[in-house]
Chain A
Amino acid sequence: MASHLFPEVVEDFEGHPPDLVPVLQRVQATYGYLSQESVSHISRWLRISENEIYGVATFFAQFRFTQPGEHVIKVCLGTACHVKGGEQILDVLQRRLDVQPGGATADGKYQLERVACLGCCALAPVLAIDEKIYGETSVLRVHRMLEERENREDA
């Protein structure tokens, strides 16, 4: 059995094929991403081919296949955020951090993600760093947020 490799994941599931998506979610929450190794374990545990697992996992936007950066910055590109300049906020972050959406910075500090909607549309444009959501951002505020974080780290 490969299941002993995920002690914290296995015990909450019955191990049936319909558990696939929740299992993938839990593995990603625990290890940060879906490694080739974990997919092959899940395959043997749930008796679903790796091929099929990748088919499901790549279908959903939530799943990652590479090690994410330490802090995840999610830029909301919902409609309200779009009309209030969300794209330019993503742009500034891309340039300042030198990273594409879906990727991690070279130092592994940040992960940049674009999300369809965080549901805080009344405070657009919005972005989230890890679990914290910031409303009414602007290109300027993003510059400042990054500077503040850099200064804090230097101190």
Chain B
Amino acid sequence: MKTLEAQRDRAIQAWHELENNARPLIYVGAGSCGLAAGAAEVIEAIAGYLAEKRIGADILKVGCIGPCYLEPLVDVQMPGNPRISYANVTPGLVRELLDSFFEKGDVYQHHLVGHFGQNGFKGAPKFFEHAMLARQVRVVLRNCGVIDPDNVDHYLARDGYRAFEKCLSMRWNDVLDAIKNSGIRGRGGAGFPTWRKWLVCRDTESDTRYLICNADEGDPGAFMNRSLIEGDPHSVLEGMLIAAYTIGASEGFVYIRAEYPLAIERLRSAIARMRELGLLGNRILGSDFSFDIKIKEGAGAFVCGEETALIASIEGRRGMPRTRPPFPAVEGLWGRPTIINNVETLGTLPNIIRNGAEWYSQFGTETSKGTKTFSLVGKVRRTGLIEVPLGTTLRTVIYDVGGGSVKGFKAVQTGGPSGGCLGEEFLDSPIDYEALAAVGSIMGSGGLIVLDKNTCIVDTAKYFLNFTQAESCGKCVPCRVGTRHLVGILERISQGNGEISDLAKLERLALTIKGGALCGLGQTAPNPVLTSLKYFRGEFLAHIIDKRCPAAVCRDLVHYRIIKDKCTGCQRCVKVCPTGAITGPRSEAHNLDMSKCIKCRSCYEICRFDAIAGDAIVIESGA
């Protein structure tokens, strides 16, 4: 059998040279989030600076290391020094930052996040001791932000494809045992033990078996899979090799959303590298195992995250689910046994094989083993992608990792449109499959959206139901018609036209949909309504009885007001108002005519950010 040893040795040597760099090295976080924050312009500014000063330095584009709120992140590693990370670097800051290193020979002190060294370095904090990172355990994310995702040698140097090579020397059932002993369960949300699904597939007689990597990350507010693929695509692809070897699949697909163009590009390039290394195709590395991978771009349908809908869509049909059984593991793509695993599940597998099942199962709880990535977003100070052991409490994640909410924590939405809103009283719940299900939510694929006192619970429930209603495939009545009526009732309430009896109607309808819908989308769609009704009933009542939105969000229940004593008459709001609702001469308090106001928020924002007064315009609800 062939091995990758020679290639890996070269890669390790190159990696050591990179770590003990002779030339200055500049890392830039260039995942989608980094680019959205302006990383491309920063890279341009850095390249311009280096060219102008004729400095020989390398720029390395890496994936997202997690604290997206600090993007664009730029790290400078001078020869002999550890890598030092800087946050929120703008093109305008580049000169000052680099001058400090290249002209003065100093460590730049502003925007400093931390250094990556083992020991202390000139009093600078350590990167991984930063408040957002200190509580994290990086297993699946170990390479994200560390390696160049387009460079397979970086992956090889960090023990890449070692796990797969190890599998080739094992029997398939020994690999299965290792996965079984690790305790890993599906990371897409359902939490089904990975090994059990695999065994069903392997035990089904067939000439062909298929493996599908589900990268149709459809939960709005979740981006764990995007980040992992963008930052370390080979870990997911190696996981696919391990899974395919174990279940005996000969063909694999990555089903990925078209909304993730950068991730698709990274996958394409990674698959091409695999082919060059002989990791795809016939008789891989001289073994009996043959396997190939194709990319299938999703065309924008949330329901295609559901296994049978996903399969229908690959087959070229409308992405509508069907009843199960037969489960795809028995009868899936083109009628053959098919395993569909989530991106994160697959990305974790190499770590389990390499370090052993026992090592992996030390993390997590009795029934939920390992670590899990979450996208921590919404009204929380430190937003980004995190990885923590299962069983970590919501409080630790939201307060220690996320830094809490500026305007006061109200609730956290777990599990996306299939999950629920949990308030203060649940902060000490551990995050695992069982604990969150017990209180009416789900852990789901890993979206954690924090809501603060300025977020309306009724509006949030309405948002989720609008989403599931729009994404319902229309095949079964409970989901198609039921979600529509849920939206109708929630709309009525948010407009101040609700009645007390609506709450009972909501509950009854929600339970009917839960019990009657065909697939997971419909069965879980009512969860946001049910949990918010249960835990935040008071807010519904405020909308119904007082016709008031306590968070001042629901448009029909709020009005805008100018505080006369604060208004300096700077006229900025007058200029920005699209309907001429605000009038008033310069230097005198302005007037707001509510009959003309369309509540577009323009005046509110301009007053806060540009005007002299800053807080003269308020949005209020109730008399």
A residues in contact (CB < 8 Å) with B: 17-22, 24-25, 55-56, 59-63, 77-85, 88, 91-92, 95-96, 115-124, 126, 131-136, 138-140, 143
What's the Cα separation between A117 and B467 when bound, in Å? 11
Interface residues of B in 112-171 (CB under 8 A from A): none
* Chain B hits for A92, CB < 8 A: 600, 602
What's the Cα separation between A92 and B578 when bound, in Å? 9
Decide yes or no whether B455 CB sits under 8 A from chain A.
yes
What's the Cα separation between A39 and B297 when bound, in Å? 20
Partner of A116 from B220, B319, B413, B606 at Cβ < 8 Å:
B220
What's the Cα separation between A120 and B384 when bound, in Å? 9
Q: Is the CB of A123 within 8 A of B600?
A: no
What's the Cα separation between A22 and B296 when bound, in Å? 8
* Chain A hits for B226, CB < 8 A: 119
Q: Convert B19-57 into 0s and 1s, putting 1 for each residue whose CB lies closer than 8 angstroms to a CB of A.
A: 000000000000011011100000000000000000000
Give the A-B contact count at a CB cut-off of 8 A.
Answer: 164
Query: Smallest Cβ distance from B315 to chain A, in angstroms?
Result: 5
CB<8 Å pairs between A and B, sample of 9: A61-B300, A62-B299, A80-B383, A81-B220, A121-B447, A122-B69, A122-B223, A122-B385, A123-B383
Query: Smallest Cβ distance from B599 to chain A, in angstroms?
Result: 8
Q: Given A95-B600, A140-B602, do A119 and B259 touch, yes or no (CB 8 Å)?
A: yes
Q: Is the CB of B600 within 8 A of A121?
A: no
Main secondary structure of the interface of A (DSSP, over half): helix
Q: Is the CB of B378 within 8 A of A62?
A: no
Q: Is the CB of B223 within 8 A of A91?
A: no
Partner of B600 from A55, A60, A88, A120 at Cβ < 8 Å:
A88
Interface residues of B in 556-594 (CB under 8 A from A): 576, 578
Partner of A77 from B220, B296, B313, B455 at Cβ < 8 Å:
B220
Interface residues of B in 260-302 (CB under 8 A from A): 260-261, 296-297, 299-302
Query: Smallest Cβ distance from B72 to chain A, in angstroms?
Result: 10
* Chain A hits for B377, CB < 8 A: 79-80, 121-122, 124
What's the Cα separation between A119 and B215 when bound, in Å? 12
* Chain B hits for A78, CB < 8 A: 220-221
Q: Is the CB of B605 within 8 A of A115?
A: no
Decide yes or no whether B10 CB sits under 8 A from chain A.
no
What's the Cα separation between A113 and B399 when bound, in Å? 35
Query: Number of B residues contacting the other chain (C-beta, 8 Å)?
Result: 63
Q: Is the CB of B297 within 8 A of A120?
A: no
What's the Cα separation between A133 and B263 when bound, in Å? 14
Query: Smallest Cβ distance from A48 to chain B, in angstroms?
Result: 8
What's the Cα separation between A121 and B33 when bound, in Å? 8
Which of B319, B376, B605 is the most central at the interface, judged by chain A CB atoms within 10 Å of its CB? B605
Q: Given A56-B317, A60-B300, A119-B217, do A139 and B449 touch, yes or no (CB 8 Å)?
A: no
What's the Cα separation between A95 and B219 when bound, in Å? 28
In the A-B complex, the 9 residue pairs with the closest CB atoms: A122-B68, A79-B221, A61-B300, A78-B220, A60-B299, A119-B223, A122-B383, A135-B36, A20-B316
Which of A18, A77, A83 is the most central at the interface, judged by chain B CB atoms within 10 Å of its CB? A83
What's the Cα separation between A138 and B69 when bound, in Å? 16
What's the Cα separation between A132 and B602 when bound, in Å? 24
Partner of A91 from B313, B383, B449, B600 at Cβ < 8 Å:
B600
Query: Smallest Cβ distance from B551 to chain A, in angstroms?
Result: 10
* Chain B hits for A84, CB < 8 A: 378-379
Query: Smallest Cβ distance from A143 to chain B, in angstroms?
Result: 7
Query: Smallest Cβ distance from B387 to chain A, in angstroms?
Result: 15
Which of A21, A88, A120 is the most central at the interface, judged by chain B CB atoms within 10 Å of its CB? A120
Query: Smallest Cβ distance from B545 to chain A, in angstroms?
Result: 25
Q: Given A22-B297, A122-B384, do A56 and B37 touch, yes or no (CB 8 Å)?
A: no
Query: Smallest Cβ distance from A84 to chain B, in angstroms?
Result: 7
Q: Convert B376-416 into 0s and 1s, putting 1 for each residue whose CB lies closer than 8 angstroms to a CB of A.
A: 11110001110000000000000000000000000001001
